[in-house]
A = this chain, B = another copy of it.
């Protein structure tokens, strides 16, 4: 390759890495030969010599398929721009086993950086271990903001509060709430938003209208059946994600309760499922793709500059579809 262009291998390296100090004419000549020969520098050789792998990892635990696919594509899109490759990694185990799994990945592949999704980002032990290895990482929301490393998130509490107020605005007073997985920081934030909205409208917070869910369909269905089986059941149910809200719809169908005529249902995330169930779900649009794209962007910036960029908060919006209506008389 270098011989074909009549330059030293070092010059080719300079051109391909966009380094300065190459005459424009030389650059063009090299570029032409590169194209002609369809030359691609070897990733492994670059990695070994340059002590960087051009590999970014994205670790996740057990999220809903529609959510993780959005995350994946957002991160991939940003990686592609800088010719980085993205390594998706589903962690196994919990606690120490999870840590060993992640660190094994890091050590073996010599990742340049890591994107950590919730709730993995809430393991203080893992964060500490990553710090110890001096591995740059960015957390993708929603998660705990206490750690000093950069993150991208949205205002979960604010969004949940807005959704709850939207339901209150429709005249609902008995509003059920299904909490997300207890391991997720966001679950607590969304619950907080729900409570804040009630308080702001002088509606008492009643435990009997609140159930613990686990971010999965079945848990939403179970919780809804439980909520709806009591005297004075809620006239609206707000589930902490779309999968659980879809479960609420399923429960309503099975119980013969019409949505939204007799029961309003709201979700959170605005994943694919929200548009495919009937009636279509009113939900909070979480900019999942953008969150991942932005997180990757911050990570890449950090790798280039060596300094940690500012964390970012992205916007959300309510999406009102067919699963909510004014409270029945």
Residues of A within 8 A of B (CB): 38, 40-45, 47-48, 53, 65-66, 68-70, 72-73, 76, 83, 85-90, 104, 107-110, 217, 243, 246-247, 249-250, 253, 272-273, 275-279
Contact = CB atoms under 8 A, between A and B. Distances in A.
A85 B83 contact: no
A88 B71 CA distance: 13
Contacts of A42: 48, 110
A7 to B, nearest CB: 21
A13 to B, nearest CB: 15
Contact of A88 (B47, B88, B249, B278): B88
Given A43-B53, A66-B66, A85-B87, A38 B276 contact: no
Nearest 4 CB-CB pairings of A with B: A44-B47, A40-B107, A65-B69, A44-B48
A129 B107 CA distance: 34
For this chain, the copies found in one complex come to 2
Contacts of A83: 108
Nearest to A52: B44
A118 B265 CA distance: 37
**Binding site of A, secondary structure by majority: helix, strand, loop or mixed?**
helix
A28 to B, nearest CB: 21
Determine which residue in A66, A68, A249 has the highest number of CB atoms from chain B within 10 A of its CB, and name it: A66
B277 A43 contact: no
B276 A278 contact: no
A110 B217 contact: no
A313 B29 CA distance: 51
A43 B55 CA distance: 11
A88 B72 contact: yes
14 contacts: A43-B53, A44-B47, A44-B110, A48-B48, A65-B65, A65-B272, A69-B69, A83-B108, A88-B88, A249-B278, A253-B278, A273-B276, A277-B277, A277-B278
A273 B217 CA distance: 11
Contacts of A250: 276, 278
A53 B43 CA distance: 9
Contacts of A108: 40-41, 43, 83
Contact of A104 (B40, B73, B104, B107): B40
A72 B73 CA distance: 13
Nearest to A246: B276
A41 B108 CA distance: 7
A317 B264 CA distance: 37
A83 B101 CA distance: 12
Contacts of A53: 43-44
Given A85-B87, A278-B253, A107 B38 contact: yes
Nearest to A104: B40
Contacts of A277: 276-278
A43 B278 contact: no
A68 B43 CA distance: 27
A86 B85 contact: no
Nearest to A217: B276
Given A43-B53, A276-B276, 9 more contacts: A43-B109, A66-B66, A69-B69, A83-B108, A217-B275, A217-B276, A250-B276, A276-B277, A278-B278
